Structure 1
Amino acid sequence: MTLPVRAITLIVLLASVGVPARAELPAPVRAMLDAAIASGNESDIASVAKVAKVANPTDAKEIDAMVASHRQAVKRAELAHKREAGTFEDWHGNGELGGSTTTGNTRSAGLSAGLTLTKTGIKWRHRVRATTDYQRNDGATTRNQWMASYEPNFQLRDSFYLFGLAMYEKDRFQGFSDRTTVSGGFGYRAVETDDLKIDIKGGPAWRGTHWLDDPATNELEGLAGTDLVWRLTSRIEISDNAQAIWGADNSTYSNTAAFTAKLNGSLSGRFSYAVRHETNPPPGSVATDTITRATLVYGF
């Protein structure tokens, strides 16, 4: 059970009044710290430990040792769980559903849906993403876009990793019936803190495109991308995913920025803006498309 931080603070202070400084942590203070650790709430643990050290400065090392021992035990349990998790276990993610508006090849409003799944093991990270945007205007379908991707990462050493990418797209309004991209290379986690993560990756890519009015193309190209997740508060998060695919005949630049705010429990609201630019689009297609989405997100 999560203990109210103010109540814990008051109890610890009262329990410590009149207790002379000594090598062993006073029993009431130890009991409060044990209760906070048993709750598993890291915020409460930090609050109780902070107040306990103020009230009992000569016992600061013992308090720090208790907290450190707890965190090591949690880490060992997490590693054991990751080792034992099966292929279809320990996946987390979110699904989103809402509305969207577009500019570029079409100007209309419609529905958007998305799914993101992630799994983090000891050496492997997996991410599956899928999005769809469907719009109609004056009785005619003006957008029917689909995208699905799978990206496995394998940790090498320090912040370096290998990545793979398989992506499939359908967007007839950008001039192609379907497009498949396969890539792989090196990645680097440039920043990793509790609140901010930035990944940079790049490598060769093969892309096959079935154009609506032109012959199909198969090209060896280059891919570079960045992924940013910045947690501003416990309830607000900003993310940005940028990708560039360079080809001899056509290059694609895309970026999706999103602002997510937790509403209640597993439910969040998200506002995102996506832009994609083709350097050499088919005749009759506009080079730059944008999609603005407002969705409700359910995390699991």
Structure 2
Amino acid sequence: MLRTVIFGSVLALGLTGPALAELPQSTRAMIDAAIATGDAKKVETVLELARTVHPDDGAELDAIKAQFDADQKVLAAAQAELKEEEILTAGLFDNWGGKGELGGFRATGNSSETGLTAALALTREGIDWKHKLRGRADYRRANGSTTREQFFASYEPNYKISERLFFYGLAQYERDRFQGFSARYAISGGLGYQIIDAPELRLSAKAGPAYRITQFVDGASEARVAALAGIDFDWDLTDRLKLTHDTNAVAETGGSATLITDSRNTSINLVTGLNAKVSDKVSARFSYAVEYDSNPPEGAVGTDTLSRVTLIYDF
């Protein structure tokens, strides 16, 4: 309702701006209709056509264009203020968006099989803060025995220090009995930087200290200070095709490559994905993951690969 009032007020300013006394009624109606859409490109096109047909009315058309541009700035400022107010007054469960993912996988390494995969990614973005929740499960059970059981969950808050610089925090949980650990926890915090922030191309990097606790399937456990480095990369090849390859501990629903290293073990998780839009809400995705541990538990191999074909629903 408030948006309608704002737009109506600004539109009224535009229509009551410069007098259109010299222009024919049909031309005035065409210009008014273009202004009513609020589409700057459409208004520019209509005014250029009017210049062609009525070259002697250039000054009047210039005045109309100047008034429209001024009104659009007022409207943009009002909408930005309204959006900021909505964010500041939002409740804990408001302004969340995300993606749900469901499909199949093919694994090689510590296990060789196909199975089901499911994931959920939630994001809440405020004025300075962004919160990310991620979860994924790969599972297969056949002939009464479980042959694949991998779970991943993480929470990452980001705080914007400037337009490009941000602080990140991370809490992460993993479980993969076939890689030799029943639970692995990691916490980290540090700085990140948005290297490229274009509409079709985004690239950011982050790094910081980490602390990792690993509980092995044989009952042993260890805790070590570590370091984390990450890069996130997303490239919109077309309106419907997106390539993702990120070095990021939590971008599992896009593409990701995690690097966490300590004095005993270096873990790297690489995920490259290709998303193709089926509709405004649904995308098909193919991704290929490589998981590497430099010092795996006895009886486990160091490298696993996982190919996934999934459908993603945006909400």
- Tell me, in whole angstroms, the C-alpha distance in 1 between the residues paired with 2:303 and 2:22: 70
Task: After TM superposition, list the pairs within 5 Å mapping 1:113-124 onto structure 2.
Answer: 113-124=118-129
Alpha-carbon distance, 1:200 to partner? 0.6
* Identity over aligned pairs, percent: 38
**CA, structure 1 residues 214+298, in 2 after alignment: closer, same or farther (shift >3 Å)?**
same
Q: Is the 8 A contact 2:152 2:174 kept in 1?
A: yes
Q: Partner residue of 1:34? A: 35
For 1:107-256, what aligned pairs fall within 5 Å after superposition? 107-137=112-142, 139-213=144-218, 215-242=220-247, 243-256=258-271
Counterpart in the other structure of 1:15: none
Cα displacement (A) at 1:46: 4.5
How far apart in 1 are the matches of 2:303 and 2:157? Answer: 29
1:36-75 → structure 2 map (5 Å cutoff): 36-37=37-38, 45-56=39-50, 58-59=61-62, 60-75=65-80
Gaps of 5+ in 2: 1-19, 52-60, 248-257
Q: Is the contact between residue 109 and residue 136 of structure 1 (CA under 8 Å) also seen in structure 2?
A: no
In 2, are the aligned partners of 1:236 and 1:260 still within 8 Å (CA)?
yes
CA 1:135 to 1:213, structure 2 compared with 1: closer, same or farther past 3 Å? same
Give the partner amino acid of 1:112: T
Give TM-score, length-normalised by structure 2. 0.80
CA contact (8 A) 2:213 2:223 kept: yes
- Report the aligned-residue RMSD: 2.1
CA drift at 1:215: 2.3
Checking the alignment, whether the CA contact within 8 Å between 2:35 and 2:43 is kept in structure 1 is: no
Alignment-mate amino acid for residue 261 of structure 1: A
Q: Which moved more, 1:258-267 or 1:102-111?
A: 258-267
After TM superposition, give the deviation of residue 47 of structure 1 in Å: 3.7
Distance 2:45 2:263 in 1: 63
How far is 1:82 from its partner? 1.4
How many angstroms does 1:135 deviate by?
Answer: 1.9
SS in 1 for 2:121: strand
Deviations 1:88-119 (A, max 9, x none): 10000010111111111111000000000001
Identify if the C-alpha distance between structure 1 residues 33 and 71 changes in structure 2 by more than 3 Å, giving closer, same or farther: farther
Question: Shift in Å at residue 199 of structure 1?
Answer: 1.6
Query: Retained in 2: the 8 A contact 1:108–1:137?
Result: no
| Structure 1: gaps (5+ residues) | 1-18, 38-44
How far residue 53 of structure 1 moved from its aligned partner, in angstroms, is 4.3
- Contact 1:98/1:112 (CA < 8 Å) preserved in 2? yes
Partner of 2:284, secondary structure, is: strand
